Amino acid sequence: MTYQVLARKWRPRNFAEMAGQEHVLRALINALDQNRLHQAYLFTGTRGVGKTTLARILAKALNCEQGVSSKPCGICSACKEIDDGRFIDLIEVDAASRTKVEDTRELLDNVQYTPTRGRYKVYLIDEVHMLSAHSFNALLKTLEEPPPHVTFLLATTDPHKLPATILSRCLQFNLKRMSPEVIEQRLIEILQHEKLQHDKISLKYLAQAADGSMRDGLSLLDQAIAYCKSVLNGDEVAAMLGLVSREPIYEILRAIQQHDIRMLMDTVNILEDSAADFQTVLDDVISVLQQLALVQWVPELPEEENQLLNALASDFSVEDIQLLYQIALLGKRDLSLSPDARRGFEMVLLRMLAFRPVSNSAPMPGTPPPNRENVDHKSSDSTPLISENKTIMAVTNESGDDWKSIYRALDLKGMVAELAANVDIGQWEGDDLNLILAEQHAQLYKKDFEERLGDAVRKYLNRKVNVKIQIGQPKGETPAAEIRRKTKERQAEAVKSIEQNQTVKAFKEKFNAKVDTTSIRPQD
């Protein structure tokens, strides 16, 4: 028995099996149940959203031997023949291959004759916008006064190319693009019936790559099943789709925020080594910038990566994100003009560095970081921290454990830095250091990150330490919590300073002015 592709095997056979398009289904179901039938229907929408599928279900509802109903039986000969594509009174036409007026006239010559087997003779014309002007004129004459036993079902991806005279004689239904959530749910249902294993992130990738088309989603699922040998894995699906992990995108934005050209170029090298498509990478940068802008205004968005986005969004001003977004959009337009994609992508990133305002504490492009051996570390509030040797003393069972001091002294970047910022010491006995990661940040944990953090701690303390991370509730304040607290405190001080300014007070009293506190930023 030959293999049947999922898009055909799982094509809906009745209205109840249709995913999405509730606004269209409701109208058609009510019309069928109330016997308020029109003689010409036009289904519009992008590819793979169910136009021809919906038309075939409607043809089945009109010709079911049990009677006209929104719930065709599916077991009578008419229903089975329509499902198999061999019902003699369902005439399917691909207008793209029959554009001539002679083809249309030949098709319509038999309209006057009654159905051979069914209740209605149904003409399903796909991609109807491809007909010629003369063909439309021929069709129009039939649409004006169609025989009572004929129903026209027209489908098109481009309704704007249809003459107004045709549109005015049809009931038009615009099918929407499928949301990723609807596509993902349908993929889950199919995989459960097919008894195939999968992880959640693999289906999320497929649903997003489907770009609103259920048919494309099922085709990609077919491809993924073959690629992953029937067990869908997020990393393998991402590789199949040519997707780039979000981690390098975050690294790029952190490098821009820190004006770290070396970190920026190292990340670009990693992307090139992984054969990444720089057009796709730039699209991902734009997508992340859009999410950051949204998080800055609506921080409680229910996103899986919300904690990571919040942490990154706090490092940029609202104006910075908007500027970087515009630079990325313009760069996308110019990328095809570059000698090669990598050079064009690099220039976009360098443009971001060149035009982003530099804070007082941020190093200029190309400036090496300070030598840790020659300077003491300083905290964000300019309070000198103890030197390296004193830090080692500070973290023994003699003086108490201070993870925040260790964190500020560690040379961490990227996701490992995010992980370290959201943990606190649970227990430290001898060479065993147990760190607690809050449950709400559990998505930050990865075994590789834990090992890299352990290497950094051992290098810094210059002794053997076994670092283990557990999910729980930290007893004390984590470095990230401290940063958030101090940020709020500095913000509150800045707002208070503005509100107490004599000039501001005068404007408020004289002109009934109000201060837009969302625009206030601390100078430090």
CATH number for 110: 3.40.50.300
Q: What pLDDT score was predicted for residue 317?
A: 83
3-state SS class at 342: helix
Q: Give yes or no: residues 163 and 27 share one domain.
A: yes
Q: Give yes or no: residues 200 and 345 share one domain.
A: no
Higher pLDDT, 317 or 453: 453
Residue 441 lies in a domain: yes
Q: Give yes or no: residues 503 and 438 share one domain.
A: no
Average pLDDT rounded to a whole number, residues 510-519:
81
Residue 444 lies in a domain: yes
**Cβ count within 10 A of residue 146:** 18
Q: Give yes or no: residues 21 and 167 share one domain.
A: yes
Residue 313 lies in a domain: yes
Q: pTM of whole model > 0.75?
A: no
And the tokens for 215? 């048919």
Confidence of residue 301 (pLDDT cuts 50, 70, 90): low
Domain boundary among 330, 355, 380: 355
Average pLDDT rounded to a whole number, residues 271-295:
88
3-state SS class at 435: strand
Average pLDDT rounded to a whole number, residues 433-456:
88
* 124 contact partners, CB below 8 Å, separation of at least 6: 52, 55, 56, 59, 90, 91, 92, 93, 153, 155
Q: What pLDDT score was predicted for residue 389?
A: 36
For residues 106 and 100, the answer to whether their CB atoms sit within 8 Å is no
Average pLDDT rounded to a whole number, residues 168-181:
92
Domain boundary among 130, 151, 174: 174
Average pLDDT rounded to a whole number, residues 361-385:
37
Confidence of residue 356 (pLDDT cuts 50, 70, 90): low
Residue 33 lies in a domain: yes
Q: Is the pLDDT of residue 98 over 80?
A: no
Asked whether the CA dihedral 262, 266, 269, 271 is positive or negative, the reply is negative
For residues 296 and 313, the answer to whether their CB atoms sit within 8 Å is yes
CA-to-CA distance for 320 and 397, rounded, in angstroms?
A: 44
CA-to-CA distance for 120 and 59, rounded, in angstroms?
A: 8
Confidence of residue 302 (pLDDT cuts 50, 70, 90): low
Q: Give yes or no: residues 13 and 152 share one domain.
A: yes
First-residue to last-residue Cα distance in the chain: 71
CA-to-CA distance for 256 and 367, rounded, in angstroms?
A: 13
For residues 24 and 175, the answer to whether their CB atoms sit within 8 Å is yes
Domain boundary among 241, 257, 287: 241
And the tokens for 295? 């998080």
Question: What are the beta bridge partners of residue 155?
Answer: 43, 126
Mark 180-209 as b/e (b = at least 16 C-beta within 10 Å): bebbbebbeebbeeeeeebeeebbbbbbeb
Residue in 19, 52, 14 with CA at minimum distance from that of residue 183: 19
Residue 331 lies in a domain: yes
Beta strands at 121-126 and 90-94: parallel, antiparallel or unpaired: parallel
Residue 374 lies in a domain: no
Place of tokens 């303390």: 461
Q: What pLDDT score was predicted for residue 214?
A: 93
pLDDT tens profile 104-155: 887 788 888 889 888 999 999 999 998 888 888 888 888 888 889 999 999 9
Residue 288 lies in a domain: yes
CA-to-CA distance for 56 and 388, rounded, in angstroms?
A: 75
3-state SS class at 38: coil
Residue in 172, 179, 173, 174 with CA at minimum distance from that of residue 214: 179
Q: Give yes or no: residues 264 and 313 share one domain.
A: yes
**Cβ count within 10 A of residue 260:** 23
Place of tokens 């982003």: 356
Q: Give yes or no: residues 501 and 460 share one domain.
A: no
* 195 contact partners, CB below 8 Å, separation of at least 6: none
And the tokens for 229? 């040998």
Q: Give yes or no: residues 261 and 347 share one domain.
A: yes
Residue in 84, 141, 83 with CA at minimum distance from that of residue 109: 141
Per-chain mean pLDDT for the chain:
84
- CA neighbours within 13 Å on the CB side: how many for 485? 6
Beta strands at 423-429 and 432-438: parallel, antiparallel or unpaired: antiparallel
And the tokens for 253? 């934005």
What CATH number did the domain enclosing 264 receive?
1.20.272.10
Q: Is the pLDDT of residue 477 over 50?
A: yes
Q: Give yes or no: residues 152 and 26 share one domain.
A: yes
For residues 11 and 218, the answer to whether their CB atoms sit within 8 Å is no
Q: Give yes or no: residues 470 and 505 share one domain.
A: no
What CATH number did the domain enclosing 187 receive?
1.10.8.60
Residue in 194, 62, 173 with CA at minimum distance from that of residue 117: 62
Q: What pLDDT score was predicted for residue 303?
A: 54
CA-to-CA distance for 24 and 58, rounded, in angstroms?
A: 12
Burial class for 48, CB neighbours closer than 10 Å (0-12, 13-18, 19+)? buried
The least confident of 21-25, 258-262, 386-390 is 386-390
CA-to-CA distance for 344 and 366, rounded, in angstroms?
A: 20
Q: How many domains are contained in the chain? A: 5
H helix intervals, 47-132: 51-63, 77-84, 101-108
For residues 24 and 173, the answer to whether their CB atoms sit within 8 Å is yes
And the tokens for 307? 């904690």
Q: Which helix (H) or strand (E) holds 231?
A: strand 231-232
Residue in 420, 500, 488 with CA at minimum distance from that of residue 455: 420
Residue 295 lies in a domain: yes
CA-to-CA distance for 218 and 201, rounded, in angstroms?
A: 16
Q: Give yes or no: residues 49 and 130 share one domain.
A: yes
Confidence of residue 497 (pLDDT cuts 50, 70, 90): confident
What CATH number did the domain enclosing 435 receive?
3.30.300.150
Domain that holds residue 509: 482-519
Q: What pLDDT score was predicted for residue 386?
A: 30
Confidence of residue 299 (pLDDT cuts 50, 70, 90): low
And the tokens for 327? 């630079």
Chain-centre distance for alpha carbon 42: 31
And the tokens for 426? 């649970």
And the tokens for 337? 């003009």
Q: Give yes or no: residues 308 and 223 share one domain.
A: no
Q: Which helix (H) or strand (E) holds 344?
A: helix 341-355
Higher pLDDT, 76 or 516: 76
Q: Is the pLDDT of residue 236 over 50?
A: yes
Confidence of residue 395 (pLDDT cuts 50, 70, 90): very low
Sheet of 466-472: strands edge to edge?
Answer: 423-429, 432-438, 466-472
- CA neighbours within 13 Å on the CB side: how many for 220? 28
For residues 73 and 63, the answer to whether their CB atoms sit within 8 Å is no
